Amino acid sequence: MTKPPLLKGFYTSSLGGMLVIRDNNALFSFVEGHKNAPYLLIDTEFLREQTYYPKLCLIQLAGPEDAAIVDVLAEGLEFDLLRPLLADEAIVKVFHAGRQDLEIFLNLYGFVPHPLFDTQVAAMVCGHGEQVAFDTLVRRIAGISLDKMSRFTDWARRPLSERQLDYALADVVHLRPVYLALAAKLKTLGREHWIESDLATLGDPGLYRIDPDRAWERLKVRSRDPAFLGRLQALAAWREREAQSRDLPRQHLLKDEQLQEIAANNPANAGQLSYARGISPQTAKGKLGQRILAALAEAQPLAVPRPPRRPESVSSANSGARSDLLRVLLRMAAERHGVAARLIASSSEVERLANCERDGLEVLIGWRAEVFGNDALALLDGRLALCSTKDEVKVLRQQDDGSWQERPAAGDLRPTRSDLRGSGEGPPRQTPPGRPGS
């Protein structure tokens, strides 16, 4: 690939061969130079402490050969010029723990970049555990320790120091070997399809769009009283819309505890509202107080469906014991296959299995069923058992003649040390396919 020319608006980093883009000419040149790239490594720096929506400050980008920072706060910069790269279906967009980055791009461009590859998700099926940090992956795979001293930088301040720019660029420069190693490992293990559903979830715009009328569901609520829940729903919806329209953190308007207290006490006027924690008489009489009271006045009782009843044949007294057994089996499956347990089955799915629910459980479908779900059903049906020896926990399976035999070992499928670090000679040299597994 021909590198874009060095134009006015570029800044050369000490990392070498990388650029900071501050004008439209430079951004256009970068986009043109990467139209045929098989992948694009992406990260962002943003602030969110004082706003509802993240305030984007930098976009870091890297292709197979070079990297750049887009200074989105530079005067006159039209970062919509980046849209063609992000919308190109032939370019894999690579992130690490990219949920917040993807939310930013959805807000900015109106779509989630696709196709996606998230190295944190991929790492969970390649033996690196749950929600592994980026610097941990870089150390394991590339053998490099990252400088994290600039982690808490105020990215909106200008000028940024060379050290701060190097820190930002490093997030995509070192994402390259991590991506190449994990993509190659997924292909070797035949596990590309294991992460498809999680990547599809990340790529769903609905994940990032909050329905104000459902904002109350994020709160930890114990009461199931319809009148209380209706008031809580109304207050949470008002707070969400107010926070969105004023671009303020929702907690700056009312904290979660205040919402629940007000919903429980149901004040009828400003005087009663002023008794709530953190609500002064002046606030209660002002615009904020009047809006709170108006939301309460519009509240309607909300009946929440109760969880499905456990089948009469299932003993509630033993559900806890069944959950414990399933968690042991899940941990064994995760260790045996080198996959994060949470990616195989969530805690709620384990609980539903323990209550003998079957419908709508992902753990009973596809690869999850192969590594855990089928064994879980056999355990619950009494066709599989766990036993402990001095050295290990074993899995026994009932045979057709009623006897029990230890399940044949299928080999340890966990990645080896050399697997975790690629070939041991750094990242693969070959150009990866446009999409992992293609």
316-338 per-residue burial string, b: 16 or more CB within 10 A, e: under 16: eeeeeebbebbbebbebbbebbb
Segment 314-318 shows an average pLDDT of 57
Segment 292-321 shows an average pLDDT of 75
CB 342 within 8 A of CB 130: yes
Residue 53: is its pLDDT beyond 90?
A: yes
Residue 8: is its pLDDT beyond 80?
A: no
- 76 contact partners, CB below 8 Å, separation of at least 6: 23, 24
Segment 8-18 shows an average pLDDT of 43
The confidence score (pLDDT) of residue 284 equals 95
Separation between Cα atoms, residue 245 and residue 52, nearest integer Å: 9
Residue 428: is its pLDDT beyond 70?
A: no
pLDDT in tens, 97-119: 999 999 999 999 999 999 999 99
pLDDT in tens, 350-362: 999 999 898 989 9
The residue with greater pLDDT, 147 or 271, is: 271
Residue 437: band (very low, low, confident or very high) from pLDDT cuts 50, 70, 90: very low
Which residue from 126, 137, 130 is spatially nearest to 419, judged by alpha carbons?
126
The structure's pTM equals: 0.83
Residue 309: band (very low, low, confident or very high) from pLDDT cuts 50, 70, 90: low
- 107 contact partners, CB below 8 Å, separation of at least 6: 53, 54, 208
Residue 391: band (very low, low, confident or very high) from pLDDT cuts 50, 70, 90: confident
Residue 316: band (very low, low, confident or very high) from pLDDT cuts 50, 70, 90: low
pLDDT in tens, 17-49: 448 999 999 999 999 999 999 999 999 999 999
The confidence score (pLDDT) of residue 377 equals 94
The residue with greater pLDDT, 418 or 47, is: 47
The confidence score (pLDDT) of residue 393 equals 86
Q: What three-state secondary structure class fits 59? A: strand
Instruction: Give kind and range of the element (H or E) at residue 69.
Output: strand 67-71
Count Cβ atoms below 10 Å from residue 360 Cβ, excluding itself. 9
- 416 contact partners, CB below 8 Å, separation of at least 6: none
Segment 226-250 shows an average pLDDT of 96
| AA letter at 177 | P
List the single range of 149-163, 183-197, 203-217 with lowest mean pLDDT.
Answer: 149-163
The confidence score (pLDDT) of residue 1 equals 37
Average pLDDT of every residue of the chain:
87
The confidence score (pLDDT) of residue 425 equals 37
Residue 433: is its pLDDT beyond 60?
A: no
Segment 358-368 shows an average pLDDT of 92
> Domains (ranges, CATH) in the chain?
18-207 (3.30.420.10), 212-297 (1.10.150.80), 316-408 (1.10.150.80)
Segment 228-245 shows an average pLDDT of 97
Residue 3: is its pLDDT beyond 50?
A: no
